C-alpha cells in the first residue's frame, strides 16, 4: 500500500495504544537481564490480568496435576514469551471493551480457541514455535473489533462476507468500506510492536493462497504460520462463529493447498482434531 492508500484505509480509525502494563513489561524485557519475577510482579498489580493468567494456566490445555494459585508460579510455568502474548491480547480486549463491542464475546472466545488449537497444530506439524503460533491465533483478527467500532453494520457485513461462496472475506469488506479487518489488524499489531512475521501473516491471512503459490524457499516463516492458522481456523469453525455459515468456503478454496503445504492427509487432520478434543479445546 502507498501512503495515500494507507491514509484512506485508516481514515476514521483510532488504533488503540499499548496499555501501560504492556509498556512496562517491554521495558523489563529490554533490560540486560530481564527478570521473570519482575514481570510477574507487574502482572500482579492488575487483578484482571492476574485472574486471566491463572485461568489460562489452569485450563485443560495445560493438563496440570494441581491448580496453580500464584501469578509468579503461573508466569514461570508459561515462560516470558507466552506471557507477553497473553498480556497483550488481554490488554487489547480490555481497551476495546466498551458498550459498542460487548457483543463480541463470541469473537474473543474464538480468538482464544484458535490460539490454543494453533499451538497443538504447531507441535503436530513441527512448524515454527508454539509461542509464535499462539500469538498469531490471538492477534490474527484483532482488526475485527476496530471495524465494529467504526461501522455499525459490520457484524452483518462480516456474516455476509463469510457466506460469499465465490469471494474472499476481505473482498466483500473492501467493496463496502474501502478497507478490511486484515489491513486494520496489521497496523494495530505493528503499533503494538508484535513481531514482523506475525504482522505480515495478519495482513495476508485471507489471501494466503498467494503465499502458498510462491516457491517453497520464499517467505517460509510466513507460509508456516499461515498453514498453522488456516488449519486452526478450520478446526475451530470460524465460518460458523463469525459468519453463521455452515460451509467453510475459504477452506473449500484453499484447503488442498494448505494440506499440501503441511504434507497432511485427511487422517492427520482427524488426529489433530481428536488431540484438541482430548485437551478440551474443541467440542
pLDDT tens per residue, range 31-42: 888 888 899 888
Which pLDDT score, from 0 to 100, does residue 78 have? 84
CA 3-6-12 angle, to 5 degrees, is: 130
Residue indicated by cell numbers 512475521: 197
DSSP secondary structure letters along 32-88:
SS--HHHHHHHHHT-HHHHHHHHHHHTSTTT--SS----HHHHHHHH-HHHHHHHHH
CA distance 224 to 232: 12
- Same-domain check for residues 25 and 137: no
Which pLDDT score, from 0 to 100, does residue 273 have? 96
Domain contains 45: yes
- Same-domain check for residues 149 and 50: no
The answer on pLDDT for 7 being more than 70 is no
Confidence label for 105 from pLDDT (cuts 50, 70 and 90): low
C-alpha closest to that of 250 among 140, 116, 149, 154: 140
Which pLDDT score, from 0 to 100, does residue 235 have? 97
- Same-domain check for residues 83 and 147: no
Confidence label for 23 from pLDDT (cuts 50, 70 and 90): confident
For the chain, what is the mean pLDDT? Answer: 85
Domain contains 5: no
- Same-domain check for residues 150 and 276: yes
CA distance 277 to 274: 5
- Same-domain check for residues 79 and 129: no
- Same-domain check for residues 145 and 204: yes
- Same-domain check for residues 78 and 116: no
- Same-domain check for residues 222 and 255: yes
Q: What is the mean pLDDT of residues 221-248?
A: 94
Q: What is the mean pLDDT of residues 233-247?
A: 93
Confidence label for 98 from pLDDT (cuts 50, 70 and 90): low
- Same-domain check for residues 129 and 234: yes
Q: Which residue has the higher pLDDT, 278 or 109?
A: 278
Q: Which residue has the higher pLDDT, 206 or 96?
A: 206
Count CA within 13 A, CB hemisphere, residue 22.
21
Domain contains 1: no
Domain boundary among 57, 80, 95: 95
Domain contains 253: yes
- Same-domain check for residues 35 and 129: no
Which pLDDT score, from 0 to 100, does residue 102 have? 57
Residue 270 belongs to domain spanning: 99-283
CATH code, 144? 1.10.3210.10
Domain boundary among 77, 95, 113: 95
Helix orientation angle between 181-191 and 143-150, rounded to the nearest 10 degrees:
120
Count of structural domains, the chain: 2
Q: What is the mean pLDDT of residues 10-16?
A: 70
- Same-domain check for residues 178 and 109: yes
- Same-domain check for residues 163 and 125: yes
Domain contains 64: yes
Domain contains 6: no
For 77, residues 6+ apart whose C-beta sits below 8 A from its C-beta are 57, 62, 64, 68
User: Which of 6-20, 62-76, 187-201, 202-216 has the lowest average pLDDT?
Assistant: 6-20
Which pLDDT score, from 0 to 100, does residue 18 have? 63
Q: What is the mean pLDDT of residues 226-232?
A: 97
The answer on pLDDT for 213 being more than 90 is no
Domain contains 242: yes
Which pLDDT score, from 0 to 100, does residue 189 have? 84
Residue indicated by cell numbers 491514509: 7
Domain contains 151: yes
Domain boundary among 33, 64, 95: 95
Amino acid at each position: 500500500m502507498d501512503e495515500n492508500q494507507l491514509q484512506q484505509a485508516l481514515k476514521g480509525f483510532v488504533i488503540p495504544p499499548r496499555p501501560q502494563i504492556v509498556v512496562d513489561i517491554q521495558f523489563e524485557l529490554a533490560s540486560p537481564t530481564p527478570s521473570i519475577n519482575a514481570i510477574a510482579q507487574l502482572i500482579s498489580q492488575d487483578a484482571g490480568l492476574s485472574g486471566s493468567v491463572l485461568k489460562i494456566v489452569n485450563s485443560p490445555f495445560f493438563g496440570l496435576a494441581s491448580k496453580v494459585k500464584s501469578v509468579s508460579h503461573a508466569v514461570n510455568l508459561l515462560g516470558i514469551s507466552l506471557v507477553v502474548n497473553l498480556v497483550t491480547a488481554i490488554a487489547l480486549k480490555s481497551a476495546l471493551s466498551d458498550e459498542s463491542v460487548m457483543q463480541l464475546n463470541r469473537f474473543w472466545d474464538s480468538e482464544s480457541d484458535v490460539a490454543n488449537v494453533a499451538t497443538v497444530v504447531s507441535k503436530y506439524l513441527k512448524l515454527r514455535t508454539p509461542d509464535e503460533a499462539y500469538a498469531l491465533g490471538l492477534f490474527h483478527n484483532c482488526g475485527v473489533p476496530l471495524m465494529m467500532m467504526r461501522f455499525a453494520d459490520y457484524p452483518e457485513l462480516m456474516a455476509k462476507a463469510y457466506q460469499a461462496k465465490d469471494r474472499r472475506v476481505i473482498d466483500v469488506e473492501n467493496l463496502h468500506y474501502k478497507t478490511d479487518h486484515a489491513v486494520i489488524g496489521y497496523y494495530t499489531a505493528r503499533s503494538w510492536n508484535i513481531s514482523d512475521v506475525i504482522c505480515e501473516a495478519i495482513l495476508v491471512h485471507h489471501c494466503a493462497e498467494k503465499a502458498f503459490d510462491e516457491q517453497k524457499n520464499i517467505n517460509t516463516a510466513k507460509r508456516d504460520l499461515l498453514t498453522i492458522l488456516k488449519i486452526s481456523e478450520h478446526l475451530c469453525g470460524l465460518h460458523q462463529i463469525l459468519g453463521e455459515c455452515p460451509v467453510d468456503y475459504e477452506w473449500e478454496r484453499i484447503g488442498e493447498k494448505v494440506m499440501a503445504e503441511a504434507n497432511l492427509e485427511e487422517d492427520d487432520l482427524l488426529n489433530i482434531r481428536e488431540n484438541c478434543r482430548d485437551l478440551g479445546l474443541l467440542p
